[in-house]
Chains A and B, each alone.
Chain A
Amino acid sequence: MSRESGVVKVDGEVIATRRVGAYHHLTIVAPGVAELARPGQFAALAVGGPTSGTLLRRSFSIHKVSPSGTYGGTLDLVVAAKGAGTQWLTGLRAHDSVDVVAPLGRAFPLPTEPVPCVLVGGGYGSAPLFWLAEVLRERGCTVEMVLGAASEDRLFGVVEARRAADRVTVTTDDGSAGQRGWVSDVLPEVFRRTGAPVAYACGPMGMLQSVTRVAAEHGAVAQVAVEESMACGVGVCMTCVMPVRGKDGVTSMVRSCVEGPVFRGDRIRWEAFHDGVCGVPEDTVGAPRTGGH
Chain B
Amino acid sequence: MAVDMSVTFTGRTLPNPVMTASGCAANGRELHRFFDVATLGAFVTKTVMMDARSGRGTPRMAETASGMLNSIGLQGPGIHAFVRKDLPWLKSVGARVLVSIAGNTAGEFADVARVLADSDAFDCVVGVEVNISCPNVANRGLVFACDPLASGKVVALVREQLPRDVPIFAKLTPDVTDIVSIADAAVKSGATGLTMINTLLGMVIDTDLLRPQLGGITGGLSGPSIRPVAVRALWQVTAAMREGRVQRVPLIGVGGVRTGRDALELIAAGATCVQVGTATFNDPTAPQRVLTELTELAGSHGVDRITELVGVAHDRMVVP
Query: Measuring CB to CB, which residues of chain A are less than 8 angstroms from any residue of chain B?
Result: 1-3, 5-7, 9, 46, 53-57, 99, 101, 228-229, 231-232, 234-242, 252-253, 258, 272, 276-280, 284-288, 292-293
Contacts and interface: CB of A to CB of B under 8 A. Distances in A.
A241 B60 CA distance: 9
B135 to A, nearest CB: 7
A177 to B, nearest CB: 27
Given A5-B33, A55-B223, A232-B284, A288 B58 contact: no
B51 interface: yes
Contacts of A6: 33
A100 to B, nearest CB: 12
A293 B75 CA distance: 10
Contacts of A240: 58
Given A231-B68, A285-B52, A57 B281 contact: yes
B66 A53 contact: yes
A55 B67 contact: yes
Interface string B18-42: 0000011110001111111000000
Given A56-B282, A252-B54, A287-B54, A239 B72 contact: yes
B249 interface: no
Interface centre among B51, B63, B67, B281 (most CB of A within 10 A): B281
Contacts of B60: 229, 238-239, 241
B224 A53 contact: yes
A231 B66 contact: no
- The majority secondary structure among interface residues of chain A is loop
Given A232-B280, A240-B58, A258-B30, 5 more contacts: A3-B35, A56-B281, A236-B30, A237-B70, A238-B46
A237 B26 CA distance: 7
Contact of A242 (B58, B75, B282): B58
A46 B224 CA distance: 16
Contacts of A234: 30-31, 33-34, 284
Interface string B103-144: 010000000000000000000000000000001010000000
Interface string B143-181: 000000000000000000000000000000000000000
Contacts of B283: 9, 46, 99
Given A272-B57, A286-B78, A57 B282 contact: yes
Contacts of A288: 53-54, 56, 73
A193 to B, nearest CB: 37
Interface in B210-240: 215, 223-225
Contact of B24 (A3, A236, A272): A236
Contacts of B275: none
B284 A236 contact: yes
A287 B67 CA distance: 28
Interface of B: 23-26, 30-36, 46, 51-61, 63, 65-68, 70, 72-76, 78, 104, 135, 137, 209, 215, 223-225, 278-285
Nearest to A272: B57
A238 B57 CA distance: 11
A208 B149 CA distance: 51
A215 to B, nearest CB: 25
A283 to B, nearest CB: 10
B54 A285 contact: yes
A10 to B, nearest CB: 12
A253 B75 contact: yes
A236 B26 contact: yes
Given A228-B58, A239-B58, A284-B54, A53 B281 contact: no
User: What 3 A-B pairs have minimum CB-CB distances, sorted nearest first?
Assistant: A5-B33, A286-B52, A235-B30
Contacts of A279: 57, 215
B57 A277 contact: yes
Contacts of B223: 55
29 contacts: A5-B33, A55-B63, A55-B67, A55-B68, A55-B224, A228-B58, A229-B60, A231-B63, A232-B280, A232-B284, A234-B34, A234-B284, A236-B284, A237-B24, A238-B23, A238-B55, A238-B60, A239-B70, A240-B58, A241-B60, A258-B30, A277-B57, A277-B215, A280-B54, A280-B57, A285-B52, A288-B53, A292-B137, A293-B53
